[in-house]
Amino acid sequence: MINFRNLSYCCDTVENYCQGRENTYDLVVASEVIEHVNSLDTFIQSCVHMIKVSDYLFTLTATLTATARKCLFQSSINMLSY
């Protein structure tokens, strides 16, 4: 069982959030974010800034094929038509 009592939520940019948190985390996960950032270099540097030496940055992003994009587009149109 996972204990969520120490879980907190912050709505901010990683560039702001990393201030004062250098070498704090064993793992930083950036899920479905990379494609939305203004500066990829600054984003990655900020994430790495928070990771303890020799630990991990894990990123996930959607990679859509042409067929997947077409299906997503058609699904969006179908949803909007209801």
Q: Tokens standing for 48?
A: 């790495």
Higher per-residue pLDDT: 36 or 17? 17
Given a contact cutoff of 8 angstroms between Cβ atoms, the answer to whether 58 and 25 are in contact is no
Residue 72 is predicted with a pLDDT of 66
Residue 33: pLDDT band with limits 50, 70, 90: confident
Task: Encode 51-80: b = buried (16+ Cβ within 10 Å), e = exposed.
Answer: beeeeeeeeeeeeeeeeeeeeeeeeeeeee
Rounding to the nearest 10 degrees, give the CA dihedral for residues 31, 79, 64, 56: 10
pTM: 0.65
Tell the residue number behind the tokens 């800034």, with chain if given.
49
What residue segments make up the domains of the chain, in order of their start? Answer: 14-80
